[in-house]
Amino acid sequence: MAKKNTTNSQTEWNYAASPESTSHIRLEKKYQLFINNEWVAPSSKKYFPTINPATEDVLAEIAWANDADVDLAVKAARKAYTEVWSKMSGAERGKYIYRIARMMQERAREFAVIESLDSGKPIRESRDVDVPLACNHFFYYAGWADKLEYAMPHKKPEALGVAGQIIPWNFPLLMAAWKIAPALAAGNTVVLKPAETTSLTALKLAEIIKDAGLPPGVVNIVTGYGDTGAAIVNHPDVDKIAFTGSTTVGKIIQRAVAGTHKKTTLELGGKSANIIFDDAPIDQAVEGIINGIFFNQGHVCCAGSRLFVQENVADLVIRKLKARMESLYVGDPLDKNTDIGAINSKEQLDTINKYIKIGKAEGAEIYQSDCSIPSKGFFCKPTLFTGVSQSHVITQEEIFGPVLTIQTFRTIDEVIQKANNTPYGLAAGVWTDKGSRIFNLTTKLRAGVVWANTYNKFDPVSPFGGYKESGIGREGGVHGLSAYLK
């Protein structure tokens, strides 16, 4: 894979394939809707295939919920809220959530394998990041259920009611956990819709919810496309919409709920700046840049997709970056050597390729690693663009793929201006050895999460969410609870 070595080493970094086994996972051929702790055939009678984006093989058929199915789910959630969940003590609610966390831990490997099969992300990430973080999220919020009055001092915290939750395909199980755990801890019931390309782990989570003995209707999972999501958003008996996805769809939702009683939290797109100063530990910074843009194929809302390098170290950083890109393994998501797995869908691959084309047409200089990519499935080589400016489309719009743009800067004021000059404000990274400079930057960057000398770190206790058009509200930590309380 590393055919073109541009650094100090001529080593060929080729490993024998080390695929994770799929023998221990259980997958049905066909999945129904999960309503009232039962598997219910959709009244639409329609199903759609979910495929493995690395092979294009069909993994299962998934029910496609229509308005009537969503209505059934909302009714189940309402009934569970009024009759059971809102009457239960916080301590008892917490025990159910702890149970979910434990059962997920027990089945962690199965979940990791299915996540990689269905989403295309490398097994190393689903195994070491997505699944453990999802378990921990339930574990963390379980403990809040009987302590809500400490989360909102001087208020008598009350649940909102039925929460409609719509999640994306980039972290399917983790986003389900981010949504369900705080909602349940705060005393709400849930109707959740996973993304159409990645329904499987949410449906496996439904198995756990049933096994954990949650009262019927507390969590309902309805699968489908955008029309299913719209049915949730527009349902009059939903009290809260929590959405993670694109800024475009976030705005559609915000318009749909205008003038209603529904509360929203939106976790949307980004075009986050990753800033490297000349005094930064360069090798660590290069690792941070790689992690910032190539983690999860760049399908990360907070991806560090705009790199700013101080001019006097730009040549060095770019040279090291290119060399590091050459050592990235692109390929089979189930192979434990793989760094970059499959692009989630054909549609997303087309989007990424469209932006790469735009970048070239705009006159930017492209560099792609010299790796081979599988002939089947959806793959994209790690890509960077130099010779770009603030006015390029590829530096302004979210690409949501393994594509980095690199700009240089001279002064701190200049880079702050450039970094903040975007409608987005989700995250930012700063790399420097100087403490006072870190605090100057982390204070002035208008973004909800700032990583200093690190990037793309997540934790259940750590609030996450954006400024400006990157969203409204926070998820995670004590701040994430208020989204589900009045």
Within positions 48 to 107, which residues make up the interface with other proteins, using CB under 8 A? none
Respond yes or no: is residue 135 known to be catalytic. Answer: no
Residue with tokens 């269905």: 118
Nearest alpha-carbon partner for 445 in 286, 328, 272, 192: 272
Within positions 390 to 449, which residues make up the interface with other proteins, using CB under 8 A? 423, 438, 442-443, 446-449
Nearer to other proteins, 365 or 459 (CB): 459
Task: Say how far residue 338 (Cα) sits from the centre of its chain.
Answer: 19
Nearer to other proteins, 348 or 422 (CB): 422
Compute the least distance from the CB of residue 423 to other proteins, in Å: 7
Compute the least distance from the CB of residue 229 to other proteins, in Å: 17
The strand pair at 263-267 and 471-472 is best described as antiparallel
Compute the least distance from the CB of residue 459 to other proteins, in Å: 4
Amino acid 255 reads R
Sequence length of the chain is 486
Compute the least distance from the CB of residue 467 to other proteins, in Å: 5
By CB under 8 A, is residue 462 in contact with other proteins? yes
Compute the least distance from the CB of residue 271 to other proteins, in Å: 15
Burial zone of 452 (CB within 10 Å; 0-12 exposed, 13-18 middle, 19+ buried): middle
Compute the least distance from the CB of residue 287 to other proteins, in Å: 12
Judged by CB under 8 A, which stretch of 17-25, 147-155, 347-355, 369-377 contacts other proteins? 147-155
Token pair listed for 265: 């939290």
**Of the candidates 126, 136, 348, 386, which one interacts with other proteins according to CB under 8 A?**
136
Nearer to other proteins, 373 or 452 (CB): 452
Compute the least distance from the CB of residue 289 to other proteins, in Å: 16
Nearer to other proteins, 251 or 319 (CB): 251
Mind giving me the DSSP string for 284-320?
HHHHHHHHHHHGGGG--TT---EEEEEGGGHHHHHHH
| Cβ neighbours around 77 below 10 Å, total | 30
**Of the candidates 94, 164, 298, 465, which one interacts with other proteins according to CB under 8 A?**
465
DSSP assignment letter at 47: E
Within positions 305 to 324, which residues make up the interface with other proteins, using CB under 8 A? none
C-alpha–C-alpha distance, residues 31 and 404, integer Å = 38
Check residue 217 and give left, alpha or beta (phi > 0: left; psi -120 to 50: alpha): left
By CB under 8 A, is residue 247 in contact with other proteins? yes
The residues that bridge with 384 in the sheet, in sequence order, are 367, 404
197-211: buried (b, 16+ CB within 10 Å) or exposed (e) per residue?
A: bbbbbbbbbbebbee
How many residues in the shown chain lie near other proteins by CB under 8 A? 42
**Of the candidates 5, 105, 234, 454, which one interacts with other proteins according to CB under 8 A?**
454
By CB under 8 A, is residue 472 in contact with other proteins? yes
Compute the least distance from the CB of residue 224 to other proteins, in Å: 24
Nearer to other proteins, 113 or 450 (CB): 450
Amino acid 98 reads Y
By CB under 8 A, is residue 342 in contact with other proteins? no
Residues 260 and 456 sit within 8 Å (Cβ to Cβ) = no
Within positions 199 to 218, which residues make up the interface with other proteins, using CB under 8 A? none
Which one of the listed residues 115, 125, 196, 267 is annotated catalytic?
A: 267
By CB under 8 A, is residue 157 in contact with other proteins? no
**Of the candidates 16, 45, 259, 391, which one interacts with other proteins according to CB under 8 A?**
259
Residues 41 and 129 sit within 8 Å (Cβ to Cβ) = no
Which one of the listed residues 20, 125, 301, 371 is annotated catalytic?
A: 301
By CB under 8 A, is residue 471 in contact with other proteins? yes
Mind giving me the DSSP string for 109-164?
HHHHHHHHHHH---HHHIIIIIHHHHHHHHHHHHTTTT-HHHHSTTS---B-SEEE
Q: ∠ at Cα 466 (462, 471), nearest 5°?
A: 125
DSSP assignment letter at 196: T
**Of the candidates 467, 481, 483, 484, which one interacts with other proteins according to CB under 8 A?**
467
Nearer to other proteins, 12 or 153 (CB): 153
Respond yes or no: is residue 301 known to be catalytic. Answer: yes
**Of the candidates 29, 45, 154, 156, which one interacts with other proteins according to CB under 8 A?**
154
By CB under 8 A, is residue 452 in contact with other proteins? yes
**Of the candidates 33, 131, 184, 266, which one interacts with other proteins according to CB under 8 A?**
266
**Catalytic residue IDs:** 267, 301
